[in-house]
Amino acid sequence: MRRKTILIIVFITSTALAGILLTQIYWVGTAFKLKEEQFDNSVRIALKSVINQFQQNKSDTVFQKRLIALSCRKTKLSIDDYIDEAILDSLIQDELKCMEINSMYRYGVYSKYNNRFVLGKFDEYRKELLDSPFQFSLASIYKPGDYYLSTFFTNKTHILLHRMELWLFLSILFLFILVISFASVIFTILHQKKVSEIKTDFINNMTHEFKTPIATSSLAAEMIQKKEVMANPSKLKKYSSIILDENNRLQNQVEQVLQVAILESGKYNFRVRRLNANELIKDVINSFELRIKDSNINVEINQDAAKPYFLGDKTHILNVFFNLIDNAIKYSPERPLISVCTYNVNDNIVISVKDNGIGISKEHQNNIFKNLFRVPTGNIHEVRGFGLGLYYVKTIVDQFGGKIQLVSEPGKGSNFKLFFPTTTTKN
Ligand SMILES: Nc1ncnc2c1ncn2[C@@H]1O[C@H](COP(=O)(O)OP(=O)(O)OP(=O)(O)O)[C@@H](O)[C@H]1O
Ligand SMILES: [Mg+2]
């Protein structure tokens, strides 16, 4: 898929997702408002009913007689002569219960004239009660009509959210699933695209790497077939050794690809032995001898490890060291100075391969151990390779309980340190 197509798909899907998100938020908000209206209406009905009951009670003959008796004793009747606090309390409680409102509430009867509370359960909620939308005039029960019954619900929002609990939970859950799935689909698409780019790069690279030795050896074979070359043993030797060299090079490359393919498939059998890091380093450096002499490379060896033994598979560990030294040479274009050291830190043997080459920037340091990854240098790679070496190194080092540490700075060089736990076993 082309980058532009992916971007368009991501844009359209993100917009659609944002749309769904906003619509959902809108619907949840609307549902909340409806629930609130429903709640408010229920409260109004309940409080109206309380006031109605007091009104009916007022025309009751027993109540009338009580009022007449009271007015003989008092010069002026007050509101608490008309409204009994205990009755008001139980009526409000019953009516709210009847409307299925279980919220915590405060109520109070106060005079609008001077905002003075005369009865009720209001604690520290006077201000809230004065501002409450649930205020009902008590003029029909007691004149002068500046007395009001006010109610305030302390946990109204909580109660409303509780009533919507299931829908809220389902909305959030499904939205969350949608966002996560969307992110993972996008991530997979981008990852697949990157993998396919890397694979195409690898195939191009491999074709080029294989083409060069095949072309060189077929040219040398053509030369051998010429009569004058056949008659000249030194030329014959020269061309046949070219064919042999190129053949070896091809074999090594195929071997390298196969090794990684086997590691990837997981079908490998390691022959774990006690290995001596000092000896293995010497063997590997020896195999580089010709290349070192030819190209003016300086190799410094320091074998300070007093306890050089660790457990591993000899062939693979040799390949690991080979890859690190090969990289150190390959990526040091001017007068390579390679320093290979072994030493002990705590119970570990450390093998360090240091060069004064091009170095690796911080952003690529984590990626270089990934399969087929090569530090991008535009389309032209001056140094040939498959990007398999360090992936192989990491896989093998992990396999034998080791660790890799990389210290590198662009333009200054790199230092790859391998840590393996030392062993005291005899073989
Ligand atoms: N010593 C080093 N100095 C600078 N860059 C390095 C060094 N070692 C590795 N790299 C960078 O890390 C990348 C990955 O290295 P790796 O050994 O896996 O692959 P390669 O050398 O490109 O190919 P090959 O599969 O032939 O080893 C290299 O392409 C290079 O860009
Ligand atoms: Mg390499």
Measured from the alpha carbon of residue 411, the closest ligand is 1
In this structure, the residue with its CA closest to atom 26 of ligand 1 is 385
**pLDDT in 10s for each residue of the chain, 427 residues:** 677 888 888 899 889 989 998 998 999 899 999 999 999 999 999 999 999 988 887 777 777 787 777 777 777 777 878 888 888 899 999 999 998 888 889 999 999 888 889 889 888 888 999 999 999 998 888 877 689 999 999 888 888 888 888 888 998 999 899 889 989 998 898 888 888 888 888 888 788 888 888 999 999 999 999 998 889 999 999 999 999 988 988 898 888 888 888 888 877 888 999 999 999 999 999 888 877 877 788 999 999 899 999 999 999 999 999 999 999 999 998 889 999 999 999 999 999 999 999 999 999 998 999 988 888 876 555 787 888 899 999 999 999 999 999 999 999 999 999 999 998 766 5
pLDDT of residue 37: 95
- By C-alpha distance, which of 329, 328, 341, 325 is closest to 294? 329
Q: Which pLDDT belongs to residue 353?
A: 97
Test site for ligand 1: of 249, 320, 331, most ligand atoms within 8 A of the Cβ: 331
Q: Which atom of ligand 1 sits closest to the CA of residue 413?
A: 3
> Among 332, 340, 375, which residue's Cα sits nearest to residue 356?
332
Dist. CA 253 → ligand 1 center (Å) = 15
Residues 409 and 356: their CA atoms lie apart, in Å, by: 10
pLDDT in the model for residue 56: 83
Q: Print the SS3 string covering the chain.
A: CCHHHHHHHHHHHHHHHHHHHHHHHHHHHHHHHHHHHHHHHHHHHHHHHHHHHHHHHHCCHHHHHHHHHHHHHCCCCCHHHHCCHHHHHHHHHHHHHHCCCCCCEEEEEEECCCCEEEEEECCCCHHHHHHCCEEEECCCCCCCCCEEEEEEECCHHHHHHHHCHHHHHHHHHHHHHHHHHHHHHHHHHHHHHHHHHHHHHHHHHHHHHHHHHHHHHHHHHHHHCCHHHHCCHHHHHHHHHHHHHHHHHHHHHHHHHHHHHHHHHCCCCCCEEEEEHHHHHHHHHHHCHHHHHHCCCEEEEEECCCCCEEEEEHHHHHHHHHHHHHHHHHCCCCCCEEEEEEEEECCEEEEEEECCCCCCCHHHHCHHHCCCCCCCECECCCCCCCCCHHHHHHHHHHHCCCEEEEEEECCCEEEEEEEEEECCCCC
Site residues for ligand 1, CB cut-off 6 Å:
323, 327-328, 330-331, 355, 357-360, 368, 373-375, 385-391, 414
Contact in structure between 274 and 425 (CB atoms under 8 Å): yes
Distance 274 CA to ligand 1 centre (A): 28
Looking at the CA of residue 328, tell me the nearest atom of ligand 1: 1
Count of CB atoms within 10 A of residue 411's CB?
Answer: 9
Amino acid residing at 15: T
Give dist(CA 365, CA 359) in Å, integer.
10
Relative to the CA of 374, which ligand 1 atom is closest?
A: 29
Whether 352 and 415 have beta carbons less than 8 Å apart is answered as yes
Instruction: Pick the atom of ligand 1 nearest to 256's CA.
Output: 25
pLDDT of residue 68: 78
Residues 6+ apart with CB under 8 A from 265: none
- Ligand 1 pocket, mutate which of 263, 321, 330 (most atoms under 8 A from CB): 330
Q: Which of 319, 390, 407, 416 to mutate to test the pocket of ligand 1 (most atoms within 8 A of CB)?
A: 390
pLDDT attached to residue 107: 93
Q: Say how many Å lie between the CA of residue 346 and the centre of ligand 1.
A: 29
| Number of neighbours of residue 350 by Cβ within 10 angstroms | 20
Taking the CA of residue 369 as reference, the ligand 1 atom at the shortest distance is 18
pLDDT at position 200 is 85
Dist. CA 108–CA 117, nearest whole Å: 7
- Residue-level pLDDT at 205: 79
Give the distance (Å) from ligand 1 centre to CA of residue 404: 15
User: Which ligand number lies closest to the CA of residue 410?
Assistant: 1
Residue nearest to atom 13 of ligand 1 (CA): 374
Cis peptide upstream of residue 421 (ω within 30 degrees of 0): no
CA distances from 28 to 33, 124, 176 (A): 9, 33, 15
Tell me the pairing of strands 337-345 and 309-313: unpaired
The residue to which tokens 């140094």 are assigned: 383
Q: What is the model's pLDDT at position 63?
A: 75
- Residue 389 Cα to ligand 1 midpoint, Å, equals 7
Separation of 372 CA from ligand 1 center, angstroms? 10
